[in-house]
Amino acid sequence: MPIRYKNVCLEAFAHTLPEEVVTSQQIESWLEPLYSRLRLPEGRLELMTGITQRRFWPPGMPPGRMSIETAARAIELAGMDTRHVGALIHGSVCRDFLEPATACGVHHGLGLPENCMIYDVSNACLGLLNGMVQVANMIELGQIRAGVVVGTESSRSLVENTIKQLNEDTSLTRNDVKSALASLTIGSASAAVVLAERQLSRTGNRLLGGIARTNTDHCQLCQSDGMQTLMNTDSEALMREGITTAATAFTKFLDCMGWKVADIDKTFSHQVGSTHRRLTLEALGLDPRVDYTTLEYLGNTGAVALPMTAAIGIDSGHVEPGDNVALLGIGSGINVVMLGVEWQSEP
In tens, the pLDDT along 93-126 reads 999 998 999 999 999 999 999 999 999 999 989 9
Tell me what pLDDT residue 175 has: 85
Tell me what pLDDT residue 153 has: 97
Tell me what pLDDT residue 237 has: 66
Residues 11 and 195: beta-carbon distance below 8 Å: yes
Residue 224 lies in a domain: yes
CATH number of the domain that residue 226 is part of: 3.40.47.10
- What integer is the mean pLDDT of 292-319? 96
Tell me what pLDDT residue 19 has: 97
Full-model pTM: 0.93
What residues make up the domain containing 320?
A: 205-342
In tens, the pLDDT along 222-231 reads 556 654 455 5
Q: Does residue 46 have an active-site annotation?
A: no
Residue 247 lies in a domain: yes
Pairing mode, if any, of strands 291-292 and 266-269?
parallel
Catalytic option among 116, 125, 222, 256: 125
Q: 189: part of which helix (H) or strand (E)?
A: strand 189-197
Residue 129 lies in a domain: no
Residue 239 lies in a domain: yes
DSSP letter, residue 84: G
pLDDT over threshold 90, residue 266: yes
Domain count, the chain: 1
- In percent, the amount of the chain with pLDDT more than 70 equals 93
Residue 240 lies in a domain: yes
Residue 146 lies in a domain: no
Residue 218 lies in a domain: yes
Residue 123 lies in a domain: no
Tell me what pLDDT residue 346 has: 64
Residues 333 and 224: beta-carbon distance below 8 Å: no
Confidence of residue 238 (pLDDT cuts 50, 70, 90): low
Higher pLDDT, 189 or 236: 189
Q: Does residue 116 have an active-site annotation?
A: no
Tell me what pLDDT residue 241 has: 74
**Ordered DSSP codes for 269-302:** E----HHHHHHHHHHHT--GGGEE--HHHH-B-G
